Structures are given as C-alpha cells and as structure tokens.
Amino acid sequence: MSLVRDMEFYAIKHAVQVWEHYLKGRTFELNTMHKSLQTVLRSTDHNDRIQRWINFLAQYDFTIKYIPGETNHADGLSHLQLDYVRYFGANFPLGETGEFQKKYEQDVFYKKVISILQGLLKCPKELRN
C-alpha cells in the first residue's frame, strides 16, 4: 500500500473506532475519495498493521463507496488553502483547555454528561448499548 492509502485507511479505522458505539450492529457506508480503498478489504497482500486494521473492521457491516474528490463536499476542509487555515487560526484563538472545561461544567446538558461519565449519576437507559 502507498503511504497516502495507509493514512486514509487508518483514518477509516480510527473513525470507526471513535464512533463504534453508534456503528456496532448497524449497516453503514464509508465514503472516501480514494478509489483504491474499495478493494483493500478484498486484497490479501498486506503488512501486519493493515491486516490488524482489516481484522478490526471485519466485525462491522459496511461498504466503502468511492466519491470523486471534486464532488466530495465533506472533504472540503482538507482542501483549504494553507494561508486561509493560518488566518483562521490566528484570528480565532481557541484559548486554553481550562476555559473549555469551565464552559462544559457550566453548561446544563454537558454538566449532566460529565456527571454520568464520572459515575456520579446513573446513565439513562436510552443511552446504554
């Protein structure tokens, strides 16, 4: 596999890992602008790392759909001009992590979520797997 394809395949594996609590037991479609990823699951010539990722993904029911880059609007952020990204980052500072934590702790919804994650509140049935 090429380095770019490895990175794109890792992105798929990582995204599925992050969202697995929503994806387990469901059929879903993965969209990619890398056509070669459609065949990666059927191929057998992989290094050990890619094979581990394929084994991990085998527990999910999904298809990989190729969407050409020019029509893949969700991929627009990865095509931003670097100058624009620098401008955006320079003019909209995100602040320190502590600021975000304070805001989450003050928010009514997230205050409850944080309490559930810390084990202070019981998780509602509708949120359990």
Residue with tokens 């990989």: 64
pTM across the whole model: 0.52
Question: What confidence tens digit (pLDDT) does each residue in 101-122 have?
Answer: 788 888 888 888 888 888 888 8
Q: What is the mean pLDDT of residues 15-22?
A: 91
Which helix (H) or strand (E) covers residue 105, if one does?
helix 97-106
Q: Is the pLDDT at 60 greater than 90, yes or no?
A: yes
| Core vs surface per residue 68-88: b (16+ CB within 10 A) or e | eeeeeeeeeeeeeeeeeeeee
Surface-to-core class of residue 40, CB atoms within 10 Å of its CB (0-12 exposed, 13-18 middle, 19+ buried) = buried
